[in-house]
Amino acid sequence: MIRSPLMTVMTDAVMKASRSLKRDFGEVENLQVSRKGPGDFVSAADRKAEQILRDALEKARPGYGFVMEESGVVKGTDPNHRWHIDPLDGTTNFLHGLPQFAISVGLERDGQIVAGIIYDPVKDELFIAEKGKGAYLNNRRIRVAARTEMADAVVACGLPHIAKGDHGVFLKELSAVMGHVGGMRRFGAAALDLAYVACGRLDAYWERGLNSWDISAGMLLIREAGGYLSDADGGSDPLVTGTIACGNETLHRELLKLLKTAKR
């Protein structure tokens, strides 16, 4: 387990926000049957969790900037540090009472992600990583899966939906990949997809149309767990392009080859 002051600060902030989310998730089922529906309630839950995270991190590390899903970019007095925060990754799952969502926080220092935490409050699973110190799930060191054959691999992806993403491109990529792998999955929370690759539950994953708060923590988890990643076209900076592909060294390379065939 990583017991640095930085990880303590991040863990404490995430745990505070998670208590709020768990309470609100318990109310979602009741709201499903109301005439108005749970949409406004979930938006409020999202904003509330984000504010809890911001307040806690600001108190512990004054001057750090923020890149947040709900509140956007907030510049700090310290130009070298920024938090990337997703207070509720998997909002649609949360909205429908599906227990697959997480809080994700990554710390950027001088343009590099140096610490990350992803917490699943329903399963009480805490994924953490700090640059050079490894990746952990609930105090246990984690590594990416060792499979090297795509035919044995379970691969996750994202799905574009109404008014988001290029549906045609995705269908070509899905067609290129699905015929070569042991199974395809779509869980609806990018942060957890990345965490699952890091701990070996998934063998590989790709998605387009993402933001820095979706992937910053998960990217570091995968690297510290011995994995490989790039953007979905093989480029070096997923935070800039908003696309990602990852796995162990072999499957990451094979996944990129398959995605490339979709462009022909």
On whether 124 is known to bind a ligand per the annotation, the reply is no
Structure tokens at 76: 């700090």
On whether 69 is known to bind a ligand per the annotation, the reply is yes
Cβ-contact 216, 102 below 8 angstroms: no
On whether 220 is known to bind a ligand per the annotation, the reply is no
Instruction: Return the exposure string of 37-64: e unless at least 16 CB atoms fall within 10 Å of the residue's CB, then b.
Output: ebeebbeebbbbbbbbbbebbbeebeeb
On whether 27 is known to bind a ligand per the annotation, the reply is no
Torsion angle, alpha carbons of 234, 237, 242, 246, to 10: 50
On whether 86 is known to bind a ligand per the annotation, the reply is yes
Q: What is the spatial order of strands in the sheet that 204-207 belongs to?
A: 183-185, 154-157, 204-207, 244-247, 228-230
List all residues 6 or more positions away from 91 whose beta carbon is below 8 Å from its beta carbon. Answer: 42, 46, 101
Annotated binding site for Mg(2+): 69, 86, 88-89, 214
Residues annotated in a binding site: 69, 86, 88-89, 214
